[in-house]
Structure 1
Protein backbone atom coordinates (compact mmCIF):
# COMPACT_ATOMS: atom_id res chain seq x y z
CA UNK A 1 0.00 0.00 0.00
CA UNK A 2 1.28 3.48 -0.77
CA UNK A 3 2.42 5.91 1.91
CA UNK A 4 -0.40 8.23 0.82
CA UNK A 5 -3.05 5.63 1.70
CA UNK A 6 -1.30 4.74 4.93
CA UNK A 7 -1.65 8.31 6.12
CA UNK A 8 -5.46 8.12 5.89
CA UNK A 9 -5.67 6.74 9.43
CA UNK A 10 -3.85 5.02 12.24
CA UNK A 11 -4.81 1.48 13.21
CA UNK A 12 -4.85 0.68 16.92
CA UNK A 13 -6.51 -1.88 19.20
CA UNK A 14 -10.24 -1.36 19.66
CA UNK A 15 -11.20 -0.41 23.23
CA UNK A 16 -14.46 -0.52 25.18
CA UNK A 17 -14.32 3.29 25.19
CA UNK A 18 -14.64 3.19 21.37
CA UNK A 19 -18.02 1.45 21.48
CA UNK A 20 -20.24 4.58 21.27
CA UNK A 21 -18.47 5.61 18.03
CA UNK A 22 -18.44 1.99 16.77
CA UNK A 23 -22.17 1.67 17.37
CA UNK A 24 -22.88 4.96 15.59
CA UNK A 25 -20.98 3.72 12.51
CA UNK A 26 -22.54 0.25 12.74
CA UNK A 27 -26.05 1.72 12.81
CA UNK A 28 -25.32 4.13 9.94
CA UNK A 29 -23.85 1.35 7.80
CA UNK A 30 -26.16 -1.63 8.37
CA UNK A 31 -29.89 -2.25 8.44
CA UNK A 32 -29.24 -5.05 10.95
CA UNK A 33 -26.33 -3.82 13.10
CA UNK A 34 -24.48 -5.68 15.80
CA UNK A 35 -25.51 -4.75 19.33
CA UNK A 36 -23.24 -3.27 21.96
CA UNK A 37 -23.41 -6.61 23.75
CA UNK A 38 -21.99 -8.46 20.77
CA UNK A 39 -19.02 -6.08 20.58
CA UNK A 40 -18.46 -6.30 24.35
CA UNK A 41 -18.60 -10.10 24.25
CA UNK A 42 -16.10 -10.23 21.37
CA UNK A 43 -13.62 -8.09 23.28
CA UNK A 44 -14.27 -9.93 26.55
CA UNK A 45 -13.44 -13.35 25.06
CA UNK A 46 -10.23 -12.04 23.50
CA UNK A 47 -11.11 -11.49 19.87
CA UNK A 48 -8.86 -8.89 18.28
CA UNK A 49 -10.61 -5.62 17.53
CA UNK A 50 -8.99 -2.79 15.59
CA UNK A 51 -9.92 0.86 15.24
CA UNK A 52 -9.07 3.05 12.24
CA UNK A 53 -8.62 6.55 13.59
CA UNK A 54 -8.25 9.72 11.53
CA UNK A 55 -5.79 12.55 12.23
CA UNK A 56 -8.57 14.36 14.11
CA UNK A 57 -8.99 11.39 16.48
CA UNK A 58 -12.35 10.41 15.00
CA UNK A 59 -13.11 6.75 14.41
CA UNK A 60 -13.33 6.04 10.67
CA UNK A 61 -13.86 2.28 10.87
CA UNK A 62 -13.24 -0.88 12.84
CA UNK A 63 -12.76 -4.60 12.45
CA UNK A 64 -13.08 -7.72 14.58
CA UNK A 65 -11.07 -10.93 14.16
CA UNK A 66 -11.10 -14.30 15.87
CA UNK A 67 -8.28 -16.82 15.51
CA UNK A 68 -8.40 -20.45 16.63
CA UNK A 69 -6.72 -23.69 15.56
CA UNK A 70 -5.04 -22.33 12.44
CA UNK A 71 -8.07 -20.49 11.06
CA UNK A 72 -8.85 -16.80 11.35
CA UNK A 73 -12.38 -15.48 10.93
CA UNK A 74 -13.06 -11.89 9.96
CA UNK A 75 -16.21 -11.24 11.97
CA UNK A 76 -16.87 -7.60 11.14
CA UNK A 77 -15.18 -4.90 9.08
CA UNK A 78 -16.99 -1.60 8.70
CA UNK A 79 -16.08 1.90 7.56
CA UNK A 80 -18.16 4.97 8.26
CA UNK A 81 -20.29 5.82 5.22
CA UNK A 82 -18.64 9.27 5.30
CA UNK A 83 -15.13 7.77 5.01
CA UNK A 84 -15.54 5.15 2.32
CA UNK A 85 -13.33 4.86 -0.77
CA UNK A 86 -10.39 6.42 1.07
CA UNK A 87 -8.38 3.25 1.73
CA UNK A 88 -9.61 2.72 5.30
CA UNK A 89 -11.07 -0.75 4.65
CA UNK A 90 -7.89 -1.81 2.88
CA UNK A 91 -5.78 -0.67 5.84
CA UNK A 92 -8.00 -2.56 8.27
CA UNK A 93 -7.90 -5.67 6.09
CA UNK A 94 -4.08 -5.53 5.93
CA UNK A 95 -4.01 -5.28 9.73
CA UNK A 96 -6.26 -8.32 10.06
CA UNK A 97 -4.17 -10.35 7.62
CA UNK A 98 -1.00 -9.45 9.51
CA UNK A 99 -2.59 -10.29 12.87
CA UNK A 100 -3.87 -13.62 11.59
CA UNK A 101 -0.38 -14.49 10.33
CA UNK A 102 1.18 -13.50 13.66
CA UNK A 103 -1.24 -15.87 15.38
CA UNK A 104 -0.17 -18.69 13.01
CA UNK A 105 -3.42 -18.90 11.06
CA UNK A 106 -3.23 -20.61 7.67
CA UNK A 107 -6.52 -19.26 6.30
CA UNK A 108 -8.64 -16.16 6.75
CA UNK A 109 -12.38 -16.77 6.30
CA UNK A 110 -15.34 -14.41 6.20
CA UNK A 111 -19.00 -14.18 5.29
CA UNK A 112 -20.32 -11.32 3.18
CA UNK A 113 -23.70 -10.41 1.76
CA UNK A 114 -23.73 -10.84 -2.04
CA UNK A 115 -25.67 -7.56 -2.15
CA UNK A 116 -22.71 -5.74 -0.54
CA UNK A 117 -20.94 -5.31 -3.87
CA UNK A 118 -18.31 -2.92 -2.51
CA UNK A 119 -17.21 -5.39 0.16
CA UNK A 120 -17.22 -8.32 -2.27
CA UNK A 121 -15.02 -6.32 -4.67
CA UNK A 122 -12.66 -5.33 -1.82
CA UNK A 123 -12.19 -8.95 -0.74
CA UNK A 124 -11.72 -10.27 -4.28
CA UNK A 125 -9.16 -7.52 -4.97
CA UNK A 126 -7.28 -8.67 -1.86
CA UNK A 127 -6.95 -12.33 -2.76
CA UNK A 128 -10.15 -13.84 -1.34
CA UNK A 129 -12.01 -16.53 -3.27
CA UNK A 130 -15.53 -17.87 -2.86
CA UNK A 131 -15.50 -21.27 -1.14
CA UNK A 132 -19.18 -21.69 -0.32
CA UNK A 133 -22.56 -20.21 0.51
CA UNK A 134 -24.44 -20.12 3.81
CA UNK A 135 -28.12 -20.20 2.89
CA UNK A 136 -30.40 -17.68 4.62
CA UNK A 137 -27.54 -16.51 6.87
CA UNK A 138 -28.30 -12.80 7.21
CA UNK A 139 -31.51 -11.08 8.27
CA UNK A 140 -32.95 -8.96 5.48
CA UNK A 141 -35.89 -6.61 5.11
CA UNK A 142 -37.90 -9.32 3.32
CA UNK A 143 -36.77 -12.55 4.97
CA UNK A 144 -33.18 -13.76 4.89
CA UNK A 145 -30.18 -13.30 2.59
CA UNK A 146 -27.48 -15.84 1.76
CA UNK A 147 -23.85 -15.23 2.72
CA UNK A 148 -20.92 -15.85 0.44
CA UNK A 149 -18.11 -17.61 2.27
CA UNK A 150 -14.77 -16.22 1.15
CA UNK A 151 -11.32 -17.47 2.07
CA UNK A 152 -7.73 -16.41 1.57
CA UNK A 153 -4.69 -18.57 2.22
CA UNK A 154 -2.16 -16.84 4.43
Structure 2
Protein backbone atom coordinates (compact mmCIF):
# COMPACT_ATOMS: atom_id res chain seq x y z
CA UNK A 1 0.00 0.00 0.00
CA UNK A 2 1.30 3.47 -0.89
CA UNK A 3 0.04 6.59 0.83
CA UNK A 4 1.11 10.14 1.50
CA UNK A 5 3.20 10.62 4.62
CA UNK A 6 3.09 13.50 7.08
CA UNK A 7 5.67 15.04 9.36
CA UNK A 8 4.40 12.67 12.08
CA UNK A 9 5.97 9.82 10.05
CA UNK A 10 9.55 11.16 10.30
CA UNK A 11 10.20 8.92 13.31
CA UNK A 12 9.39 5.86 11.17
CA UNK A 13 11.43 7.16 8.22
CA UNK A 14 14.63 7.87 10.15
CA UNK A 15 15.62 4.24 10.95
CA UNK A 16 15.12 3.31 7.28
CA UNK A 17 17.20 6.31 6.19
CA UNK A 18 19.99 5.39 8.61
CA UNK A 19 20.00 1.72 7.57
CA UNK A 20 19.94 2.37 3.83
CA UNK A 21 22.44 5.21 3.37
CA UNK A 22 26.10 5.54 4.26
CA UNK A 23 25.53 9.32 4.56
CA UNK A 24 21.93 9.51 5.78
CA UNK A 25 19.81 12.61 6.06
CA UNK A 26 19.22 13.87 9.59
CA UNK A 27 15.85 13.94 11.29
CA UNK A 28 15.75 17.72 10.77
CA UNK A 29 16.39 17.40 7.03
CA UNK A 30 13.68 14.75 6.68
CA UNK A 31 11.27 16.95 8.64
CA UNK A 32 12.04 19.91 6.37
CA UNK A 33 10.62 17.94 3.43
CA UNK A 34 7.02 18.39 4.51
CA UNK A 35 6.60 21.92 3.24
CA UNK A 36 4.20 23.33 0.70
CA UNK A 37 6.14 22.22 -2.39
CA UNK A 38 6.92 18.68 -1.25
CA UNK A 39 5.14 15.35 -1.58
CA UNK A 40 6.28 12.38 0.47
CA UNK A 41 4.98 8.91 -0.35
CA UNK A 42 5.36 5.88 1.89
CA UNK A 43 5.26 2.22 0.94
CA UNK A 44 3.73 -0.04 3.58
CA UNK A 45 3.59 -3.82 3.75
CA UNK A 46 1.23 -5.80 5.90
CA UNK A 47 2.88 -7.94 8.53
CA UNK A 48 1.61 -11.32 9.70
CA UNK A 49 0.17 -9.57 12.77
CA UNK A 50 -2.11 -7.55 10.48
CA UNK A 51 -0.31 -4.28 11.17
CA UNK A 52 1.23 -2.34 8.30
CA UNK A 53 4.87 -1.32 8.42
CA UNK A 54 6.63 1.45 6.51
CA UNK A 55 9.38 -0.10 4.38
CA UNK A 56 10.24 2.79 2.10
CA UNK A 57 9.52 6.31 1.02
CA UNK A 58 10.04 8.75 -1.84
CA UNK A 59 10.41 12.50 -1.36
CA UNK A 60 9.66 14.89 -4.21
CA UNK A 61 10.00 18.64 -4.42
CA UNK A 62 7.88 20.21 -7.13
CA UNK A 63 7.26 23.57 -8.73
CA UNK A 64 4.87 24.17 -11.59
CA UNK A 65 5.22 21.23 -14.02
CA UNK A 66 8.58 19.98 -12.71
CA UNK A 67 9.38 17.61 -9.86
CA UNK A 68 12.70 16.47 -8.43
CA UNK A 69 13.05 13.14 -6.68
CA UNK A 70 15.03 14.29 -3.65
CA UNK A 71 15.32 10.95 -1.88
CA UNK A 72 14.08 7.40 -2.27
CA UNK A 73 14.79 4.84 0.38
CA UNK A 74 13.79 1.21 0.81
CA UNK A 75 14.67 -0.59 4.03
CA UNK A 76 17.65 -2.86 3.23
CA UNK A 77 15.71 -5.84 4.64
CA UNK A 78 13.04 -5.26 1.96
CA UNK A 79 15.29 -4.47 -1.01
CA UNK A 80 15.37 -6.68 -4.09
CA UNK A 81 11.62 -7.38 -4.03
CA UNK A 82 10.45 -4.72 -6.52
CA UNK A 83 9.34 -2.21 -3.89
CA UNK A 84 11.47 0.60 -5.35
CA UNK A 85 9.89 0.08 -8.77
CA UNK A 86 6.38 0.01 -7.27
CA UNK A 87 6.96 3.10 -5.14
CA UNK A 88 8.48 5.14 -7.97
CA UNK A 89 5.90 4.13 -10.55
CA UNK A 90 2.95 4.88 -8.28
CA UNK A 91 4.31 8.12 -6.83
CA UNK A 92 5.30 9.56 -10.21
CA UNK A 93 1.90 8.71 -11.69
CA UNK A 94 0.20 10.38 -8.72
CA UNK A 95 2.25 13.54 -9.33
CA UNK A 96 1.34 13.51 -13.02
CA UNK A 97 -2.36 12.97 -12.28
CA UNK A 98 -2.79 15.30 -9.30
CA UNK A 99 -0.09 17.96 -9.71
CA UNK A 100 0.17 18.08 -13.52
CA UNK A 101 3.87 17.19 -13.40
CA UNK A 102 5.41 16.88 -16.88
CA UNK A 103 9.00 16.00 -15.97
CA UNK A 104 10.78 14.35 -13.04
CA UNK A 105 14.48 15.01 -12.39
CA UNK A 106 16.85 13.10 -10.13
CA UNK A 107 20.50 12.63 -9.37
CA UNK A 108 22.11 9.37 -8.32
CA UNK A 109 25.56 8.22 -7.29
CA UNK A 110 27.49 6.97 -10.30
CA UNK A 111 28.39 3.82 -8.33
CA UNK A 112 24.72 2.99 -7.65
CA UNK A 113 24.27 0.88 -10.76
CA UNK A 114 21.19 -0.93 -9.39
CA UNK A 115 19.36 2.40 -9.02
CA UNK A 116 20.51 3.62 -12.44
CA UNK A 117 19.23 0.38 -14.00
CA UNK A 118 15.87 0.83 -12.24
CA UNK A 119 15.60 4.43 -13.44
CA UNK A 120 16.36 3.35 -17.01
CA UNK A 121 13.73 0.61 -16.73
CA UNK A 122 11.20 3.26 -15.66
CA UNK A 123 11.99 5.45 -18.66
CA UNK A 124 14.56 7.89 -17.29
CA UNK A 125 17.37 9.08 -19.52
CA UNK A 126 20.79 10.43 -18.56
CA UNK A 127 21.10 14.19 -18.99
CA UNK A 128 24.60 14.79 -17.64
CA UNK A 129 26.67 14.58 -14.50
CA UNK A 130 28.00 16.61 -11.58
CA UNK A 131 31.59 15.73 -10.84
CA UNK A 132 32.69 15.41 -7.20
CA UNK A 133 29.13 15.85 -5.96
CA UNK A 134 28.60 13.10 -3.38
CA UNK A 135 30.79 12.52 -0.35
CA UNK A 136 32.47 9.12 -0.07
CA UNK A 137 34.81 7.53 2.45
CA UNK A 138 37.75 8.24 0.13
CA UNK A 139 36.75 11.62 -1.31
CA UNK A 140 33.99 12.59 -3.72
CA UNK A 141 31.85 10.80 -6.32
CA UNK A 142 30.10 11.92 -9.51
CA UNK A 143 26.32 12.34 -9.58
CA UNK A 144 24.49 11.13 -12.68
CA UNK A 145 21.65 13.51 -13.67
CA UNK A 146 18.55 11.86 -15.09
CA UNK A 147 15.06 12.86 -16.13
CA UNK A 148 11.79 11.40 -17.32
CA UNK A 149 9.24 13.34 -19.34
CA UNK A 150 5.53 12.61 -19.34
CA UNK A 151 3.07 13.43 -22.10
CA UNK A 152 1.22 16.64 -21.29
Q: TM-score, normalised by structure 1?
A: 0.89
Q: CA RMSD in A?
A: 1.2
Q: Does 1:18 pair with 2:5?
A: no
User: Which residue number in structure 2 is paired with residue 109 of structure 1?
Assistant: 105
Match of 1:58 among 53, 62, 84: 53
User: Which residue number in structure 2 is paired with residue 42 of structure 1?
Assistant: 33
Question: Is the contact made by 2:37 and 2:63 (CA closer than 8 Å) also made in structure 1?
Answer: no
In the TM superposition, structure 1's runs of 4+ consecutive aligned residues that sit over 3 Å from their partners are: none
User: Which residue number in structure 2 is paired with residue 32 of structure 1?
Assistant: 23
Q: How many angstroms apart in 1 are the aligned matches of 2:10 and 2:27? A: 7
Structure 1, unmatched stretches of 5+, are: 1-9
Deviation larger for 59-68 or 10-19: 10-19
Q: How many angstroms apart in 2 are the aligned matches of 1:133 and 1:16? A: 32
Aligned residues: 145
User: Which residue number in structure 1 is paired with residue 80 of structure 2?
Assistant: 85
Q: How many angstroms apart in 2 are the aligned matches of 1:17 and 1:104? A: 27
Q: What is the deviation of 1:73?
A: 0.5
Local SS of the residue matching 1:90: helix
- CA displacement 1:33-52 (0-9 Å, x = unmatched): 01111111110344100111
Structure 2, unmatched stretches of 5+, are: none
Local SS of the residue matching 1:44: coil
Q: What is the deviation of 1:142?
A: 1.3
User: Which residue number in structure 2 is paired with residue 121 of structure 1?
Assistant: 117
Q: TM-score, normalised by structure 2?
A: 0.90
Deviation larger for 104-113 or 91-100: 91-100
